[in-house]
Structure 1
Amino acid sequence: MNDALRMLQRAAPVMPVAHFNSLEHAQACAELFAEAKVPTVEVTLRHPQAWQMVKIFKDCMPFAKIGVGTVINRRQMLRAADEADFVISPGFSAELSILARKTLTPYIPGIATASELMAAMNEEHRVFKCFPAAAIGGVALIKSLSAPFPEVSFCPTGGISQANYHDYLALDSVACVGGSWIVPSEEALKKDREGFLTMLKDLYSS
């Protein structure tokens, strides 16, 4: 649990939630993030070549912690334990929790309800991804959950943007947010790489 919290604190204020269209796109973003000294990246398993993308980031960013997101089964968890620094799931699974403990892998399960939160806390978790944050109540939901569960920390993800992420970070229970808006598309990289680089440097130096 402490490792998971340290991971979120390291990622603050925003952990990039990265989904790429191609290996070339992943490489270009990894080089950009390396130049900007982004401390933590979550690479989602939403592309057939996602594991190769994880390796690209590990190779390009040896100073950073590279995690695997959208982990939903045993096979993915075991591979992530070997190839990444931490694991994030969209929901909670007791089986994945057990595997994470056995492999000493920092694991951040997802929750959307108080019942899921209680089930995960029974497995000794205190650090959670709140997903899909905006769709299930956003800031108001996290405030509500924080009252009966003051010892937990959240990384809200889903529907969070440059326009509203400060609202989440203002909550004491939010260690960082997960955001895809800081991961430029291939077109955006071609149009304004320097603009994204400046934005990232400002974000992580503040």
Structure 2
Amino acid sequence: MHDALTVVKKTAPVMAVAQFTSLDHAKACAELFAEAAVPAVEITLRHPDAWQMVKLCKDLMPNALIGVGTVLNRRQMLRAVDEADFVISPGFSRELSMLAHKTLTTYIPGVATATEIMAAMAEEHRVFKMYPAAAIGGVALLKSLSGPFPDAVFCPTGGISEANYQEYLALPCVSCVGGSWIVPSEAALQKDRAGYLSMLKRLYQRGT
């Protein structure tokens, strides 16, 4: 099991945040990601078939880390322990943190305030998903928080796009960003698969 810092470093510069619309969509994206050597995918639990999508990506992307996002409760965490490489939640939960420590699961909690960072650090977390990043202050907030929390490492997610992700990556406290823009829709994939493949290869080979 990788620790959280290893996960975000391996994932850099962008963690693909996938909200697949169907199993066919998940399969097509997983095949694309495997070909482009995408290092990690966070699959959100917002679809009835999300767990099948996790398995599908694990099968089709053997060299990548497959994580589960939008984990909100004990039941989801315990299932993720067996079926995913890492777990991300939109906020911080002491119960989820305790479960992660107990099961040696890689857990990246979400934070939005200094209070939440302090609570998570008290449970020995140092790597955080900053969510929803753009809506709560974006780059300016991260700059402010890096002062009192010099050891914190962030993967900001939410409202980040191809137009602004470099601004986040320029911050020393940001290891990677979470981005849904690198996950093509079914229609986009059918229209320009080669274009997405080229973009993904440039993104991960260049490292910025």
Give the alignment's TM-score, normalised by structure 1: 0.99
Q: Report the AA paired with residue 130 of structure 2.
A: C
Q: Aligned pair count?
A: 205
Distance 1:179 1:14 in 2: 6
CA deviation vs aligned residue, 1:20-54 (integer Å, no higher than 9, x gap): 11000000000000000101110010000000000
Distance 1:181 1:93 in 2: 28
Distance 2:54 2:92 in 1: 22
Distance 2:112 2:174 in 1: 15
CA deviation vs aligned residue, 1:112-169 (integer Å, no higher than 9, x gap): 0000110101101010000000000000000000000000100000000000000000
Unaligned runs of 5+ in 1: none
Q: Report the AA paired with residue 49 of structure 1.
A: D
3-state SS of paired residue (1:48): coil
3-state SS of paired residue (2:116): helix
Q: Report the AA paired with residue 152 of structure 1.
A: A
CA deviation vs aligned residue, 1:36-75 (integer Å, no higher than 9, x gap): 0101110010000000000010000111100000000000
What residue is the counterpart of 1:140 in the other structure? 140
Q: Map of 1:113-152 to 2, 5 A cutoff? A: 113-152=113-152
CA deviation vs aligned residue, 1:88-135 (integer Å, no higher than 9, x gap): 000000000000011111100000000011010110101000000000
Distance 1:29 1:173 in 2: 30
Unaligned runs of 5+ in 2: none
Distance 2:116 2:152 in 1: 13
**Root mean square deviation of aligned Cα:** 0.6
What residue is the counterpart of 1:80 in the other structure? 80
What residue is the counterpart of 2:6 in the other structure? 6
What residue is the counterpart of 2:26 in the other structure? 26
Moved over 6 A (4+): none
**Structure 1 residue 179: deviation in Å?**
0.1
Distance 1:115 1:100 in 2: 21
What residue is the counterpart of 1:170 in the other structure? 170
Give the alignment's TM-score, normalised by structure 2: 0.98
| Residue 202 of structure 1 pairs with residue 198 of structure 2 | no
What residue is the counterpart of 2:181 in the other structure? 181
3-state SS of paired residue (2:52): helix
